[in-house]
Each structure stands twice: as C-alpha cells, then as structure tokens.
Amino acid sequence: MRNFDFTAGTAVVTGAASGIGEALAHGLARRGSDLVLLDRDGDRLDAVAAAVRATRPGRRVDTHLVDLADLCTTARVAEEVMARHPRIRLLVNNAGVALGGRFDQVTMDEFHWVVDINFRAPVQLTHALLPALRAEPGAHLVNVSSLFGLIAPAGQAAYAASKFALRGFTEALRHELADDGIGVTSVHPGGIATRIARNARVGSGVPREEFDVARRQFERLLSIPPGRAAEVILRGVERRRGRVLIGWSAKLPDLLARVAPGSHGRLVAAGVRFAGGPGPRSAPAARVPAPVPAELPAGEVA
C-alpha cells in the first residue's frame, strides 16, 4: 500500500475541540487536508476552526456539534457528513471519556456511558462513513484506543473494556479493508499532557479523597505535549502503520504485557507509584483513568 496522501483530501476528526484532536486539526491542515471537525463543546470547536482558517485560509473547515453519548444524534450527524462529503480520505475516531473506579464502584449507567462513547460511537461512525472512505482511493481509518487497550489495571473495568473492544474492532477492520486499499491504524497513547485525569468522571461508589490522591499521581505522568503526539499519529498514518504507540508510558507496559502476561500488572502499578510519588496503598494510581491524550475529559464529550 502506498504512503497516505494528505493533500486535497477530506479528514474527519472527532474530539477536535481540545488536546490531540485540536493538534490533529492543525497538523492535517498544514499537510493540505480539508477538515470536518466534530465535538460537543461548541465554543472550543468554533475557536479551533477559526484558528485553522486564520493560519490556513485555503483549507475548508466544517464543524458539527454532537454528543457521541447520544447514538441517535450521532447517526443523524453521520448522515449530514455523508451528504456534504461523499468522499472522505481520512476518518479519525479520537474522542472518548474516562471513568475511575472498580467495577463494583460504578453504576451500570456509568459503565454504559463509557462504552457508548469510547466504542459504540466509533463503530457507528465508521459504519456510516465507510462508503465515503471506499469512494476515495487510498483512504485511511484511525481509531484511538489507549494504553489501557493494551493492559487492563484494577479500577479500569469500563474504560479498558471499551478500549480493548476498540482495539479488536480495529484489528479486524485492518484485515477486512486491505483489499479495498483502505489503511487502518490503532493508536495507543501513553502519558499525554491533557486534562483527562483532572476532569475524569468518578464512579458513584469511589470515595472522593481516594480518587483525588490517585489522580494527582497520574497527572505527574502526563508529560508528552499533544502536538507531539499528533505528529506521531500523522507520521504513522502516512506510513500506513497498523499500530502506533505513543511514548514509553505505552511502549514499556505493552512490552511487559507480552513478556509477563500473568504478572505485568504488579510491575506496571509499582512503576506508576514510583514515578508519581508516594501515595496511600489504599489508593493506587492504577485506579484512576488512563492518561489517554486523544480523548476528551468527562463533561466534554465530542
């Protein structure tokens, strides 16, 4: 498969109002792509679109306001995108949310909220926009999974379930779409400097003080700028990489999971505690939401 050509193609990006989604919008515009940007935060989305237009006046930038937790609205917006853009060269399912708490500390509504946004919405958008990808020679699909789509620590049952599901869905599509000439990439970010840990939703049964301690530990690990992460993703797309891991905070746990599949959890938790500083044993850092750069904080769902 030839390298991906960004020039004069249309790229759809969810979660485009902040973090990696915002950085991807600017990176794609620099490479010559027209943009279709989706997010729930209208003010931030408008600001991103205005900034792209100001720096790249030759690029077309369309925006759509949508809450991906609402699957009916997501379906309607997908129809609107298809009607306006029957040929799409790149789809980046980037938006997502985080939830902290063990399985017995979250409600089923909270669990389903995470799965709906992190898994069902990307599946729905991909299914709806696949004809537009097939219509564009050399198209590409990107699904942003997570470090916790590679490992599944305690306190992340809902989040890891959604991200492992997205990873499996992406890997299956990679094989299914190869004959159509469509590239597929699964992205697994590590510690990207966004607000996801600070603004993550807390399970109803999680003591607030416990979560606050763990969240502060994780925030110390978020060191990679979103712009750098976006460039890693776009280089991976250009080279048609099947999988992109961002940062050693993703690469090392992935290696440990393969080398020590039955015991890597203790090693990863120990490493997080060491890097994040001392904290009470009752509130291990592994319970907080993954430091996933490309995903929006709770309350700012794309």
> What number of helices (H) and strands (E) belong to the chain?
10, 9
Strands (E), the chain: 10-14, 34-39, 61-65, 90-93, 99-100, 140-144, 183-189, 201-202, 243-246
Task: Give the long-range contacts of residues 231-237, CB within 8 A, separation 24 or more.
Answer: 231/23, 231/27, 233/20, 233/24, 233/92, 233/142, 233/144, 233/185, 233/187, 233/294, 234/6, 234/24, 234/27, 234/28, 234/31, 236/185, 236/187, 237/4, 237/90, 237/140, 237/142, 237/183, 237/185
Selecting among 119, 159, 169, 211, the annotated active-site residue is 159
Task: Give the long-range contacts of residues 249-255, CB within 8 A, separation 24 or more.
Answer: 249/147, 249/190, 249/191, 249/221, 249/224, 249/291, 250/147, 250/150, 250/188, 250/189, 250/190, 251/190, 253/147, 253/150, 253/151, 254/147, 254/150, 254/151, 254/188
Could you confirm whether 159 is annotated as catalytic? yes
The catalytic residues are 159
